[in-house]
């Protein structure tokens, strides 16, 4: 498996794709991350065309097991961020 792209590499690739400098690309990436974070943490969802949908889902309270002791513990309800991958991206990876 290849190493994941770092933020620096992503900014450089974005700047090249936009025919812009790295400072502008970094600002655009940071703004996009801030918008996604604000929307998802507020209970909404963000669809990135051709990539997928990022959303927040609530998990109910449940019983979990401590793997070290085997003790059953009650875990309160919480939220988790999920992403559904777009069919176009799945097809491009598998095709």
Please report the pLDDT score of residue 72 as a whole number: 95
The pTM assigned to this predicted structure is 0.79
Q: What is the pLDDT of residues 47-91, one digit of tens each?
A: 999 999 999 999 999 999 999 999 999 999 999 999 999 999 999
Q: What percent of the chain shows pLDDT beyond 90?
A: 97
How is the chain split into domains, by residue range? 1-42, 48-95
| Rounded Cα distance, 58 and 43, in Å | 10
Q: Is the pLDDT of residue 1 over 80?
A: no
Structure-token match 């097991």, residue found? 65
Q: Which two tokens stand for residue 23?
A: 């400072």
Q: What are phi and psi of 74, to 5 degrees?
A: -85, 120
Per CATH, which fold does 48-95 belong to?
HU Protein; Chain A (4.10.520)
Buried b / exposed e along 35-51 (16+ C-beta atoms within 10 A): ebeeebeeeeebeeeee
């Amino acid at each position: 498996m290849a190493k994941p792209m770092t933020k620096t590499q992503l900014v450089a690739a974005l700047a090249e794709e936009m025919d812009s400098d790295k400072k502008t690309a970094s600002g655009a990436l940071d703004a996009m991350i801030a918008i996604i974070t604000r929307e998802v943490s507020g209970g909404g969802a963000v669809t990135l065309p051709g990539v997928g949908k990022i959303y927040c889902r609530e998990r109910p309270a449940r019983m979990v097991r401590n793997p070290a002791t085997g003790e059953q513990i009650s875990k309160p309800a919480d939220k988790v961020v999920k992403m559904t991958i777009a069919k176009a991206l799945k097809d491009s990876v598998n095709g």
